[in-house]
Structure 1
Amino acid sequence: MIPFTSLHGISMLALLTSVSGLSNGVAKLPALGYNTWNAYQCNIDQNLVLTTAKLVKSLGLQDAGYMHVNIDDCWSEKNRSASGDLVPDKVRFPNITAMTSQIHSLGLRAGIYGDSGWFTCAGYPGSFMNELRDVTQFQEWGFDYLKYDNCAIPFDDIIREGIVGKYQRMADAIASLAKTSGKKPFIFSLCEWGWSQVWLWGASMGHSWRVTGDIAPQWESLAAIINFNSFITQATDFYGHNDMDMLQLGNGGLSLDEAKSHFTAWALMKSPLLIGTNLSAITSDILGILTNKEILAINQDPVIGKSISPFRWGINPDWTSNSSFPAQYWSGPSQNGTVFMLLNTLNQPADMFFNLTESPWIRAGRQYSVRDLWSHTNNGTAVRNFTAHSVPAHGVVALLLKDAGNEPSGIFPQCSVWWQCIDKNGTHVGG
């Protein structure tokens, strides 16, 4: 366990700094869609992408809000053309413009992948020193979303700038293209892996930024990402989002309870939600998780852009970094009430109890109706506290609490949390 003040050498002041997003008319809310990498890596072609786009529509994912179909690495030839242009793989992507047109005809949007260095992570041409040329091509081919990676960084005596400047080059190219073309700017997803505190500067140029390395379909990976993100939730708001990496549901390695926790945490922390599952083999259980409209409504809230945040770490002292056992008690505002996430990080079922006013979004002396966002049931009224019983190992409870008026009179003690609770005559309230 790492105390908060020494978390990866990041200062407390830096973690508590609020970040304003890039409000340039696109990506006010987190992106919802599909990305090819988790399921297929380099084994992609035009037919697979179109088949996947059709499945996004036919499976009801588009109706649930998933709009982007994004190809990842390995889509191009290994060399640029004689004139310096990127060239789609002639065999696997013989007509990339026709592909995006068919995606658009389904009412969906198309995204592409690039890299800020000499090469992509799989060894294909990167965009360093070709930023405007490349993004102009992407737009001509029909794309409007760019995932931009961080491999093959040029030598210092060539780049002569830090990581911020390397990404700023493409951000400037995107802004320049929007001005000259009259079209909306690209959605710009920075895949920088969080090595240089990207959550502090990414919002000045992009709409989302990866905060950790690549996700894996194991609980240990999810727990580590949730733990890290628990300290930087204030960096997410409208137009700018901590990207916790793609959804690993249905790729093996996670129980159904862990899959629900994965989706809930990513959605309520306002991460982009990009599916990485083979949709041809998706199970009804995983599809049900991905299309939980009550959870998605929090992620896509048009009134509140902030992430939920921990109000109590649980088994660890507050503000403790523990990659195996992250914070357990979370809350945040929404347009329809206060959202709670109770995450059982233990390896066995557990009851989870909290006083309502531990959350800063709850008013003292009020009672609250309780909506379970997974069972889709109204579960009575909570007064002062709430207990979730027998939460499964690595499982989650997601609740929406709405103010239901004053709590009943005559409840003793006068305060649910009696530390510093005092009568006007000076008498302290005790348990």
Structure 2
Amino acid sequence: MKKLWIALVVLCGIAQITKAQDTLAKYILTPKEKPSPQINGAKIFGVRPGHPVVYTIAATGNRPMTFSAKGLPAGLKLDSKTGMLSGSVNKTGTYTIALSAKNALGTATRNFKLVVGEEISLTPPMGWNSWNIYATKLTQALVLANAKAMVSSGLINHGWSYMNIDDVWQGKRGGEFHAILPDSTTFPNMQALADEVHAMGLHIGIYSTPWIESYGHHVGGSADNPEGAFSPVKENVPRNKKLFPYKIGQYTFVDQDVKQFDKWGMDYLKYDWSPNELPETKKMFDALRAGSRDIIFSLSNSTPFASIGDLSKVSNTWRTGGDIRDSWKSLKPRVLAQDKWAPYAKPGHWNDPDMMVVGWVGWGKGPYPSHLTPDEQYTHMSAWCLMSVPLLLGNDLTKLDAFTLSLLTNDEVIAVNQDPLGKQATVIARNGELGIMAKDLSDGTKAAGLFNTGDAGTQNMVLSWKDLGISGKYIVRDLWRQKDIGVFDNEFKTDVPQHGVVMVSLRKAK
């Protein structure tokens, strides 16, 4: 009887999940992918002189597909079968490269700018982070499985690229650099993992902290002994109070750790402690810059606003608040409340309201479908794209349902996030729980999101040309449905569902 009851519970759970997936499928707004080639993703990429270029052309369409490029600078080459750019360029400058993707149905072309100089991360990083799905249960096998899913699902063809390992990968110090080495039981071969991820055309990232002990109770970047010996503290010690073990130790090992990250081939570093302060940030920035490759430098968490003027100059991204959860209570305060951070956002430097909580999440206790409703997930993706912040997925990529896949593969929505101008949308109109964010795009158009964050059901909202600083007739395009709605003069009115959004672009009518 007990076995029968367990079986019934499991079947009921499966039935509920299936029903939830069917419900989500009804909310799919993205048109189906076309079989002819289309080049997607960032139109600009920054690399430092002499550092390796790690970039894969994001292109949808039927395979096989061949890639070509005109105007490649000396030192750079393109794999015609994979679309992977590699090599390095020593001479600073901006190089305009004409990219092509060809299959049996046609050819797509697009200009691509390679900027060789001091600035990297010229568009917000797009990828995945392990914490919101696996938390402390992370393993090398899980990272690899998600990297393979990033490719097999086609997300890579829309610009998703970074596979970032969060806390709990750390073992003990050792090796040729006396750096943090991986836990041999969960990450038996970090070098092999990095090589496999790169071979797929993806980037890989790593995690550390300047504290003696990380949030996940693993070794940090400092110690109170010169050997860096570490024993986790299991007591309930207040975090963020500069108390042992959540403090900077007398001895730091930043240079040693960065040398190891560099040798593995890491492309991204999440540096996690609170409060984020300038001495530790600058020390890590200098160590990363002295390396042989570009590593995006991301600060976490709850960056002090009073210090952002200095911190933003020596980091690529920084968290503007605490950790997000898959609830409206957690998401809502981040949607229309980032304006004060906007002056510090620009190509190479991005505000970060935290990772994404769409799809199957779990924090090591799942996976389960996100508790956000479909409309709330559209709000999540729309706000993050309008604000030009990092798009780091926190879900199980091996469990991508049709709705989540459509949410993450709308190239017109993603293009707003990856726009080369790098402007953060700000609130241009507000009426209680109704708010409109808008920004300029590099092609001269404008993008706007009409957000209904209230609990009173569907609301009619008005996007006024006066608030946008424009006049005359404009073509309004629904970016989620990828279709023009019509020509409007002075304003655009639409119904917006509860906790939902209408995301549009406006271009001047001829």
TM-score normalised per structure 2: 0.67
Cα deviation code 1:383-402 (max 9, x no counterpart): 0111012x110000110100
Alpha-carbon distance between aligned partners in 2 of 1:281 and 1:57, rounded to the nearest angstrom: 13
1:168 and 2:314 are equivalent in the alignment: no
1:44 and 2:138 are equivalent in the alignment: yes
In the TM superposition, what are the counterparts of 1:388-403 in structure 2 within 5 Å? 388-389=494-495, 391-403=496-508
CA change 1:72–1:198 in 2 (3 A) is farther
CA change 1:54–1:140 in 2 (3 A) is same
CA change 1:287–1:189 in 2 (3 A) is same
Matched AA of 1:372: D
Give SS of 2:325's match.
Answer: coil
Alpha-carbon distance between aligned partners in 2 of 1:145 and 1:233, rounded to the nearest angstrom: 23
In the TM superposition, what are the counterparts of 1:98-177 in structure 2 within 5 Å? 98-128=192-222, 129-150=252-273, 163-177=277-291
Matched AA of 1:286: T
Matched AA of 1:211: T
1:328 and 2:397 are equivalent in the alignment: no
Matched AA of 2:255: L
CA change 1:123–1:196 in 2 (3 A) is farther
Alpha-carbon distance between aligned partners in 1 of 2:132 and 2:266, rounded to the nearest angstrom: 20
Number of corresponding residues: 354
Greater than 4 Å deviation, 4+ residue runs: none
Give SS of 1:92's match.
Answer: coil
Alpha-carbon distance between aligned partners in 1 of 2:294 and 2:317, rounded to the nearest angstrom: 14
Give SS of 1:169's match.
Answer: helix
Matched AA of 2:454: L
* Shift of residue 308, structure 1, vs aligned partner: 0.9
Tell me if structure 1 keeps the 8 A contact 2:425–2:437.
Answer: yes
Partner of 2:400: 282
Cα deviation code 1:62-105 (max 9, x no counterpart): 0010111111000011x323984212011111111001000011
Partner of 1:56: 150
The RMSD of aligned alpha carbons is: 1.8
1:192 and 2:301 are equivalent in the alignment: yes
Matched AA of 1:85: A
* Residue in structure 2 matching 1:339, options 442, 447, 455: 447
1:307 and 2:424 are equivalent in the alignment: yes
Partner of 2:474: 368
1:242 and 2:351 are equivalent in the alignment: yes
Partner of 1:357: 466
CA change 1:33–1:198 in 2 (3 A) is farther
* Shift of residue 24, structure 1, vs aligned partner: 2.2
* Residue in structure 2 matching 1:385, options 491, 496, 507: 491
Cα deviation code 1:377-423 (max 9, x no counterpart): 1111010111012x110000110100114xxxxxxxxxxxxxxxxxx
Matched AA of 2:254: E
Matched AA of 1:66: W
* Shift of residue 198, structure 1, vs aligned partner: 4.8
Return 5+ residue gaps in structure 1 as ranges.
1-21, 154-161, 178-182, 316-324, 406-431
* Shift of residue 219, structure 1, vs aligned partner: 1.0
Tell me if structure 1 keeps the 8 A contact 2:302–2:320.
Answer: yes
Tell me if structure 2 keeps the 8 A contact 1:372–1:400.
Answer: yes
Matched AA of 1:148: Y
Identity among equivalent pairs (%): 32
Tell me if structure 2 keeps the 8 A contact 1:234–1:306.
Answer: no
* Shift of residue 196, structure 1, vs aligned partner: 4.7
Matched AA of 1:328: G
TM-score normalised per structure 1: 0.79
Partner of 1:415: none
More strand by share: 2
